[in-house]
């Protein structure tokens, strides 16, 4: 084990991490790098959690996130064990980061390079909008610097932790206003406004109601840059798990946690379905939040009920052709953009005029499909099972046909005839994986579930259990779950140090 002789004689060195998703692996890397004995328990037979693999006869699809931003956060986790992204992955910067297509036939290529995007905005919308884009870009950068320091990469024990100079700076930047008006102050073209605000759907809140602070996601996408790892997004989990194992962590695949054994406020043993009894001085749970609370036998009281994000229908298609209008990431916006959020979030309906994210990773890495074939990942936002009680086992196939028909109308002629392999994933499938209310996006980022108001990564009634993942701080998204794992590791280290004094 990593950490040198005599470490196992010290109290507080044995940590069990439940879940080999990206937050759990980030946590494990930071802990094993600091000299702790770490066991990671994963129910699946592979690492990555929601960022896992789906193989369809030579088509190598990713099950979860398709957009990688802020790779320096991944590098930070790997650096904890003396490794790096460069050692483990081949990252390809995507240019354009996105291609946005609109129903009027216009196309905007979203470049992260300042000069190229300024020229693109000028081409599409004129010089005045290009000047507005530059102002928006500067505002996004200032917003990110404040938020990363004090609101994303930060522990919260109470609302008082929010107070300070950065709170004043965030307020002065308009971070507590609403996202859509904040973007609108810089841009008049409705197409550009969509490009810099659609990301709020990741946070589970429409742009009109989302905090302007969530423009930080647009910064990550449109300023910091979008990347793709050769081998697919699945390669991230593999790289992190390999680095953790080589540093001394023990990773148990195909192993589920059955129950926890407690002595007072301390969890002392983790019982698995393989009959193992894993002693622990500290426990890190990365399960979906309700499942983590269930294992601990605890559901904290809150002033308002938890609100969960919308879900998504994902259609994986292996095709025998491609289409020139598709970039690596292409957003096909519907005409009735504003109605989309009302239908999904307020009415619990599917989109009548779908806006879709289509990812074609074989544009960047042809090895993900058989020679001459291509892979499409079509994401359609949808209501979660609590907000929209749709019988997806019945409606799913019909909705699949609607999505394919919509894609053909939007320019992907011949799509149906080109399909050679496919897999449909609906909110019902997410629920079968144990995700609350059938959403992979966990709790929505409403004001009451943001920052110090979001469920904390500590749990009342337990003295050695810590949470990580998208349900706790800082929240949903690949960069933030990596931060979440680091914050959980730091909680363990602080408690371990305090206990040994």
Q: What is the DSSP letter of 222?
A: I
- Summarize pLDDT for 388-427 with one digit per residue, the tens: 889 999 999 999 999 999 999 999 999 999 999 999 999 9
Q: Please enumerate in sequence order all residues whose Cβ is within 8 A of that of 84, keeping only pairs 6 or more positions apart, or say none.
A: 75, 78
d(CA 60, CA 316): 10
DSSP run (H or E) holding 138: helix 127-147
Predicted pLDDT of residue 453: 83
Residue 163 scores a pLDDT above 70:
no
Given a contact cutoff of 8 angstroms between Cβ atoms, the answer to whether 286 and 74 are in contact is no
Domain assignments of the chain as residue spans, ordered by start = 7-57+68-92+231-299+447-500, 111-222, 310-437
| CA 266 remoteness from chain centre | 30
Mean per-residue pLDDT, 33-38: 96
Percent of the chain with pLDDT over 70: 94
Gyration radius (Cα) of the chain, Å:
22
In the chain the first and final C-alpha atoms are separated, in Å, by 24
- Given pLDDT bands bounded at 50, 70 and 90, which one contains residue 2? very low
Predicted pLDDT of residue 176: 87
- Summarize pLDDT for 350-370 with one digit per residue, the tens: 999 999 999 999 999 999 999
Q: Maximum Cα–Cα distance for the chain, whole Å?
A: 69
Residue 349: CB atoms within 10 A of its CB come to 16
> Model pTM?
0.93
CATH superfamily ID and name for 7-57+68-92+231-299+447-500:
FAD/NAD(P)-binding domain (3.50.50.60)
Phi-psi region of 165 (alpha: psi -120 to 50; beta: other; left: phi over 0): alpha
The CATH class for the domain spanning 310-437 reads alpha beta
- With vertex at residue 408, the alpha carbon angle to CA 405 and CA 409, rounded to the nearest 5 degrees, is 90
Mean pLDDT over each residue of the chain, to the nearest integer: 92
Mean per-residue pLDDT, 202-215: 86
Predicted pLDDT of residue 134: 98
Residue 448 scores a pLDDT above 90:
no
């Amino acid at each position: 084990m990593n950490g040198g002789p005599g470490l196992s004689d010290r109290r507080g060195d044995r940590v069990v991490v439940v879940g080999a998703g990206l937050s759990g692996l980030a946590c494990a890397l930071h802990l094993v790098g600091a000299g702790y004995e770490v066991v990671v328990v994963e129910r699946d037979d592979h690492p990555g959690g929601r960022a896992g693999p789906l193989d369809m006869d030579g088509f190598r699809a990713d099950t979860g996130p398709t957009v990688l931003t802020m790779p320096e956060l991944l590098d930070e986790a790997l650096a904890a064990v003396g490794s790096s992204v460069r050692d483990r992955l081949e990252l390809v910067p995507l240019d354009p980061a996105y291609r946005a297509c609109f129903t009027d036939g216009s196309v905007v290529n979203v470049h992260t390079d300042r000069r190229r995007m300024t020229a693109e905005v000028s081409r599409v919308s004129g010089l005045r909008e290009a000047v507005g884009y530059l102002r928006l870009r500067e505002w996004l950068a200032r917003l990110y610097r404040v938020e990363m320091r004090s609101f994303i990469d930060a522990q919260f024990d109470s609302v008082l932790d929010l107070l300070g100079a950065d709170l004043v700076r965030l307020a002065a930047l308009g971070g507590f206003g609403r996202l859509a008006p904040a973007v609108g102050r810089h841009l008049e073209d409705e197409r550009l406004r969509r490009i810099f605000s659609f990301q709020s759907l990741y946070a589970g809140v429409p742009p009109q109601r989302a905090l302007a602070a969530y423009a930080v996601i647009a910064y990550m996408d449109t300023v910091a840059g979008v990347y793709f790892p050769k081998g697919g997004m699945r390669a991230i989990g593999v790289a992190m798990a390999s680095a953790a194992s080589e540093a001394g962590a023990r990773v148990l695949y195909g192993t589920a946690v059955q129950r926890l054994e407690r002595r007072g406020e301390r969890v002392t043993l983790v019982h698995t379905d393989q009959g193992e009894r894993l002693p622990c001085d500290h426990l890190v749970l990365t399960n979906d939040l309700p499942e983590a609370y269930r294992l601990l036998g605890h559901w904290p009281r809150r002033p308002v009920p938890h609100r969960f994000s919308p879900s998504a229908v994902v259609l994986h298609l292996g095709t025998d052709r491609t289409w020139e209008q598709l970039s690596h990431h292409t957003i096909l916006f519907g005409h009735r953009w504003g109605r989309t959020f009302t239908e999904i979030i307020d009415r619990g309906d599917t989109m009548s005029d779908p806006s879709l994210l289509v990812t074609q990773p074989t544009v960047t890495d042809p090895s993900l499909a058989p020679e001459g074939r291509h892979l499409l990942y079509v994401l359609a936002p949808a209501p979660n099972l609590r907000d929209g009680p749709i019988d997806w086992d019945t409606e799913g196939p019909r909705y699949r046909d609607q999505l394919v028909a919509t894609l053909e109308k939007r320019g992907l002629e011949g799509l149906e005839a080109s399909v050679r392999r496919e897999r449909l994933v609906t909110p019902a499938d997410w629920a079968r994986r144990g995700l609350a209310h059938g959403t992979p996006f966990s709790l929505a980022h409403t004001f009451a579930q943001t920052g110090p108001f979001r469920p904390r990564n500590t749990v009342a009634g337990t003295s050695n259990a810590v949470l990580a993942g998208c349900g706790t701080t800082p929240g949903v998204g690949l960069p933030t779950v990596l931060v979440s794992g680091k914050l959980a590791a730091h909680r363990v280290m602080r408690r371990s140090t305090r206990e040994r004094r």
